[in-house]
Amino acid sequence: MAILELSTIFYIYYKLLYVSRMFYNVLDKYRHSCVFHSVLEYRSFFLLDDFLFDILRRLPADILRYKARFVCRRWFSIITNRILRDHASFIVQRSSGPHTAIQVVIREEKHGLELEQQQLDIPCKFRLKSWCNEFLLIVDPNRKESLYVFNLMTKQALCLPGCMTSCGGHYTSKCGLALAFDGFKGIYKAIHVFMGPPIECKIIVFNRDISSHVCSMWKKIQVPSYDMGEGQYYWGNPVSVQGRYFHWDVHCSNYLVSIDMVKEKIFQMSLPAECNDDQVKRQYSLFEMSGFLALLDDVSWNHADLWILKDIQKMKWEKLQSISVPSYVNTRIYPVCSVISMRYLIFKKSSPKPGLFSYDLTNEVIKELNIHCGDSERCVVHSAAPSFL
């Protein structure tokens, strides 16, 4: 019986070499069958890791990221640590046109960077706020700014209950919204944070199976009393680090607003000492870099310092290097993400020639990427769950 089962699986694997798109249906069938579980018991006999790696890497990135890597721990390890490890993924949201959301996957190869683009089918007018695993957290402006969780794979949506607290509008930058996966409890969390003042924060919980339309009610998180100073605060897109910590640039020269989604603890994150200067109001940008929070500090029009947060508990920043921006760029650059090697930065440039570019930190070379991204278009970076379900 075992021989028959193994031969069947071998047939499936060889078919994957030629018809990778059919893999999802085969996988869904065998994942819940006794045949599949019997094969797992004999996994040491039928495929070496290198052979399995060569097969799996031929699958589309979305199948690998959202489905295949959750089949078993062995597949999770191979796909996460050997295939997706060097991938950077984000969504470009456009304000108009037939295709308002484009998923971009960038990976580092020996000869440089390779790009893949895929149009996303999201059946409503929306503003994307956060992206975790296969789920998007979106705001529908046509329905009193309702919050939805949308599954990219199943196309199912879950409308979250109203927060019952007015923040001035989810569609604008008057509040911060984020979506995270708690690997310790196996649940998803959406967070809503805004200025009262003081800072107020609420969290809602739901499971992976959103077809049941079951979720908790919003609960208030205790926030320490901080001296917020004066002025208006604006919440940009959250920067996710390790799928657990989220950081917001609230356009303050002294600190960031951060949250630990596992401990449900919100706190102020200090900036590097060189950036925290009331006499010189410098501009900075936040992004994730190889598992660390990174900060690009605009020292002058053609010079920037790159910092990474080496220790989140001690709030210890370390300057990675200084960057020289060529004069022909002629505008401020806005980092989007980086690849895992920490060699390439992906950044957005505004007018007069807007678009997405790569910056080689080793050779200090800037190259334009073949991705259209205008001044009014937004980039939302993917946040991956770090744990096997």
Give per-residue pLDDT as tens, 48-85.
888 888 888 888 777 787 778 777 778 877 887 777 76
In this predicted structure, the answer to whether residue 262 has a pLDDT above a threshold of 80 is: yes
Q: 327 in a domain, yes or no? A: yes
Q: Are residues 223 and 74 in the same domain?
A: no
Which residues span the domain enclosing 158?
87-95+114-381
Q: 342 in a domain, yes or no? A: yes
Tokens representing 310?
């080496």
Tokens representing 205?
């919980």
Please give the C-alpha separations between residue 290 and each of 16, 60, 271, 307, 375, in angstroms, as whole numbers.
31, 23, 19, 13, 27
Q: 276 in a domain, yes or no? A: yes
Number of structural domains in the chain: 2
Within 13 Å of residue 125, how many CA atoms lie on the same side as its CB? 9
DSSP label of 7: H
d(CA 72, CA 37): 10
Q: Are residues 91 and 67 in the same domain?
A: no
For residue 215, name the pLDDT band (cuts at 50, 70, 90).
Answer: confident
User: DSSP 3-state assignment of 136?
Assistant: strand
Q: Are residues 40 and 152 in the same domain?
A: no
In this predicted structure, the answer to whether residue 259 has a pLDDT above a threshold of 50 is: yes
Q: Are residues 183 and 223 in the same domain?
A: yes
Sequence length of the chain is 389
Please give the C-alpha separations between residue 288 and each of 91, 130, 258, in angstroms, as whole numbers.
15, 14, 14
- Of 332, 333, 337, 338, the closest CA to residue 380 belongs to 337
Q: 108 in a domain, yes or no? A: no
Q: What is the pTM of this model?
A: 0.79
d(CA 36, CA 24): 14
For residue 34, name the pLDDT band (cuts at 50, 70, 90).
Answer: very low
Q: Are residues 368 and 245 in the same domain?
A: yes
Q: Are residues 186 and 47 in the same domain?
A: no
Q: Are residues 175 and 32 in the same domain?
A: no
